[in-house]
Amino acid sequence: MQWEVVIGLETHAQLNTVTKIFSGAATAYGAEPNTQACAVDLALPGVLPVFNRAAAEKAVRFGLAVGARINRKSVFERKNYFYPDLPKGYQTTQLELPIVAEGGTLRIQVPSTGSGQAYEKDIRITRAHMEEDAGKSLHEDFHGMTGIDLNRAGTPLVEIVTEPDMRSSTEAVAYAKMLHSLVRWIGICDGNMQEGSFRCDANVSVRIKGTDTLGTRCEIKNLNSFKFLEKAIEYEVRRQIELIEDGGRVVQETRLYDPDRDETRSMRSKEEANDYRYFPDPDLLPLVVSDAYIEEIRSALPELPQAKRERFINEYSLPPYDAGVLTSARELADYFEATLRSLLSKGVGILTTPEYPSAEIFAAKITANWVINDLSSALNNASLEIVDSPISSAQLAGLLKRIQDSTISGKIAKEVFAAMWNGEGEADAVIEAKGLKQVSDSGAIEKIIDEIIAANPGQLAEYRSGKDKLFGFFVGQAMKASKGKANPAQLNEILKQKLAG
């Protein structure tokens, strides 16, 4: 039997406001317990909520970024239930009229897997609403009791809900990554998953391929890493299929993923008849946003990743993969474009080939390669973010310029890069100090080649008798003799002539 997996995600992204959604207490992470929980957050008697304008602005920014309709009037409601991390006995949230209505989509890039090719897919965003986060229960043993820290209580969240559009854990992870990149891109969430700023709930069901009706779903709560998201979905899919194939039925329930045991288990505490008794919060009035307000936010939006990615493909002829990597974070894309601009400003000749019809495209490709490969892996090894790169975009452009004008070869460039990384100065200074300038003097190259040929008569004979592969041997020997500094194109050309005799 062929099974189809159906996944919808609900993502809680903490909005990076300075204060809580309904109080003036700070939201900074990591404070001493309950030192950022004011009377409103603690739900002391008589205190009242006052709404933070930054929360609305950030939620609207998100809605516009995914192309959703913004509700001109949205309403805060109370979701009533008892839990010690929920001081008021209700969570203030939006139900009937959320700030972000339907119509949003997020285009995801699904990477190739063992069996399948990479592809793109649009995931529909059903809605996004604002709500308050709960506090934290600390289960360390306080004489058999639980400790409650309400610093997080009242931190603004935007909950982003998708249609059940994903068909594999790979798609779910691709969506989560794309969303994670977007919320950081537009500056509404710090995306710190360890600190819980970005967490996913996955609604998972399975059905026989070809059927239209959805299977019974389970909701896996609080997945705070992409790896857990993937593993939890995979486990849950296996569990549901095995259950059905053994003649059982999936029960709709909330489950928790246990990463230590790599399994999901039923969350009993959430299972008792949930009757949240939603009703409009009488302490808060309807939130009304004007067209002008929305336009103001729209006009301040940065170029979005999707648009930038398409522009990189169209304008610079970058491969979709490169464009995707470069637009995975706004800072990375900015670095790339800054490097490219700087490089182009130095003038990059008019070298044109069918592969690189313009100097700009050549420059873009070489820049992309260096940013994606050398720079990114160096940053990665040093656990640095792009904004903390020891090599600035202008400095990198200086290095790329010397590759482009054949002052150094690509191979020597890696050595220069390493020196620059270690703070040994600009590319030109390093090249000068280390004497790495490429040898482009044809007389000097000819001299090296003559010596190599003279020293290897056997190989020469074999080559001339048709063993073309030996060309590489001579290139290698000549390069070695020049300490890597010979201009590779020139070297090839002269070598070819000399070997031909």
Give residues in contact with another protein (CB under 8 A).
Answer: 17-19, 23-26, 32-40, 42-56, 78, 80, 82-84, 87-90, 137-139, 142, 144-150, 256, 267-269, 273, 275, 277-280, 282-288
Taking the complex as a whole, how short is the minimal distance between the CB of residue 192 and another protein, in angstroms? 19
| CA-based R_g, the chain, Å | 30
Judged by CB, which is closer to another protein: 211, or 269? 269
What does each C-alpha distance from 325 to 226, 277, 427 come to in angstroms? 17, 45, 25
Q: Give the separation between CA 76 and CA 284, rounded to whole angstroms.
A: 7
Judged by CB, which is closer to another protein: 147, or 484? 147
Q: What is the DSSP letter of 212?
A: -
Angle between helices 330-345 and 359-369 (to 10 degrees): 130
Nearest to 63 by CA among 177, 203, 183: 183
Judged by CB, which is closer to another protein: 144, or 457? 144
Judged by CB, which is closer to another protein: 103, or 196? 196
Taking the complex as a whole, how short is the minimal distance between the CB of residue 38 and another protein, in angstroms? 4
Coil vs helix vs strand at 299:
helix
Taking the complex as a whole, how short is the minimal distance between the CB of residue 134 and another protein, in angstroms? 12
Q: Give the separation between CA 50 and CA 223, rounded to whole angstroms.
A: 31
Beta bridge partners of 208: 3
Residue positions counted in the chain: 501
CB proximity list for 154: less than 8 A, separation 6 or greater: 20, 21, 22, 23, 25, 37, 40, 41, 132, 133
60: its two tokens: 């609207």
Taking the complex as a whole, how short is the minimal distance between the CB of residue 261 and another protein, in angstroms? 15
The residue whose two tokens read 């709709």 is: 252
Judged by CB, which is closer to another protein: 18, or 461? 18
Judged by CB, which is closer to another protein: 11, or 19? 19
Taking the complex as a whole, how short is the minimal distance between the CB of residue 55 and another protein, in angstroms? 8
The residue whose two tokens read 């590319």 is: 427
Coil vs helix vs strand at 176:
helix
Taking the complex as a whole, how short is the minimal distance between the CB of residue 152 and another protein, in angstroms? 13
Nearest to 206 by CA among 242, 178, 179: 242
Judged by CB, which is closer to another protein: 248, or 286? 286
Judged by CB, which is closer to another protein: 37, or 106? 37
Nearest to 55 by CA among 26, 92, 14: 14
Judged by CB, which is closer to another protein: 38, or 371? 38
Q: Give the separation between CA 236 and CA 328, rounded to whole angstroms.
A: 29
Taking the complex as a whole, how short is the minimal distance between the CB of residue 158 and another protein, in angstroms? 15
Taking the complex as a whole, how short is the minimal distance between the CB of residue 117 and another protein, in angstroms? 41
223 φ/ψ angles, rounded to the nearest 5 degrees: -90, 115
Taking the complex as a whole, how short is the minimal distance between the CB of residue 56 and another protein, in angstroms? 7
